[in-house]
Amino acid sequence: MKSSIRMWTVGCAAAMLAAGACAADADWPTKPLRLIVAFPAGAPGDIIARVIQPQLQQALGKPVIVENKPGAGGNIGMQEVLRAADQHSVLLGPDTMLTINPHLYKKLTFKPMEDFVPVTQLAAFSQELVCNPSVGVRKLDDLLANAKKAPMSYASGGAGVPGHMAMEMLLARTGVTMQHVPYRGPSPAMQDVLGGAVPCGFLASPVVSPMIKDNKLVPIAVSGSRRLSSQPSVPTVAESGVSGYAAEFAEMMAMPRGTPVAIVNRLQTEVAKAMASATVRERMATLDLEPLANSPEEAARRIRRENQRWGEVAQQLKLQLD
């Protein structure tokens, strides 16, 4: 009898603790939510954060603050979120932070794939190979032929970021060498390509699309498996003769592992609602961003697959950044 009472008491205590935790989760957020964008202003993740911020703020009933913490391919932003560990700091940036960085940075004090749990993949996007008009090429074959004849360089938004990886994979497939010039984000890289300081760049399509439309940059090819709806005449790298090539990326949200599932699910639900709104979808379409807003489980599956794939690429290319 006493044993039964003890078991019932322990069970009740556990249920009360669980109920208290659920109540606490239901009250979330209890203070302003920080969206820590791990890349500079003007990067795709920064654009998305600022587009959904008003609707997210209204839905959550608390201020939503966008903070840029760029550097080291997203590592600085990840460190900031892990340091805060307050259930109110959310990582936002390309999924390369989890899929590629673990293979390039061997001396990290944290483990991206183990220390973060995906909330959602916000939107898919491609990288676009573009050149200054003075280069005088419009096809990938011509660009690669020029690079074989004389030294050429290309710009990206930084070491280990999508544009860098997309280009290195292309160069490895074609046996061509080009000098990498990394920048602190795609926007400053684009500015130097526009100015002719660097002849070409492999940069996020949402960043370079406006300059292409204004005929200030010449599009050569896109990295993904499909052409961009806004630029149907620009071929993919695979269509340009590099069979089987595809480098696709997604902007994501993540929180420190151990964040209550109820909080992760609540945030994903509100983000998905914001991404589904006509205003946001129209804005995404103008920037060649394909809304995803998938579940935490689907985001985790996709990220695991990409982590394995890019690990194989990094090993083949012998890429390491520390």
Residue ranges of the domains in the chain? 30-124+250-317, 126-222
Q: CA-to-CA distance for 199 and 155, rounded, in angstroms?
A: 8
Query: Rounded distance, CA 169 to CA 175, Å?
Result: 10
CATH 3.40.190.150 for domain 30-124+250-317, yes or no, is yes
State mean pLDDT over 215-226: 97
**Is the predicted pLDDT of residue 151 greater than 50, yes or no?**
yes
Of 18 and 243, the structure prediction assigns the larger pLDDT to 243
Compute the distance between CA of residue 24 and CA of residue 263 in angstroms, rounded to an integer.
Answer: 10
pTM comes to 0.87
Angle CA 51–57–61, to nearest 5: 170
Cα 125 from chain centroid (whole Å): 9
Give me the pLDDT at residue 24, please: 53
pLDDT of the residue at 10: 47
Q: How far is 198 from 132, CA to CA, in rounded Å?
A: 8
Q: Over 50: is that where the pLDDT of 204 sits?
A: yes
Q: Is the pLDDT of residue 3 over 50?
A: no
From 3.60.21.10, 3.30.70.20, 3.40.190.10, 3.40.50.720, which CATH number describes the 126-222 domain?
3.40.190.10
pLDDT range class, residue 17, cuts 50, 70, 90: very low
Q: Which residue did the predictor score with more confidence, 190 or 14?
A: 190
CA 60 to chain centre: 24
Q: Is the pLDDT of residue 11 over 70?
A: no
String of DSSP letters for 17-33: HHHHHHHHHHT--SSPE
pLDDT value at position 70? 95
What mean pLDDT comes out for the span 254-265? 98
User: Residues 82-132: pLDDT tens digits?
Assistant: 999 999 999 999 999 999 999 999 999 999 999 999 999 999 999 999 999
CB 164, CB 129: distance < 8 Å: no
Share of the chain above pLDDT 90, in %: 85
Rounded Cα distance, 35 and 16, in Å: 32
pLDDT at 5: 45
Same fold, 30-124+250-317 and 126-222: yes
Q: Summarize the confidence of residues 248-253 as an average pLDDT.
A: 96
Tell me the average pLDDT across 245-255: 96
Which residue has 């964040």 as its token pair?
259
Model confidence pLDDT, tens digit, residues 261-311: 999 999 999 999 999 999 999 999 888 899 999 999 999 999 999 999 999
Residue 1, pLDDT above cutoff 90: no
Tell whether the model's pLDDT for residue 26 goes beyond 50: yes
Task: Look up residue 315 and give its two tokens.
Answer: 């090993």
Q: Please classify residue 42 by burial: count the beta carbons closer than 10 Å to its beta carbon, then call 0-12 exposed, 13-18 middle and 19+ buried.
A: middle
Q: In this predicted structure, what is the pLDDT of residue 8?
A: 44
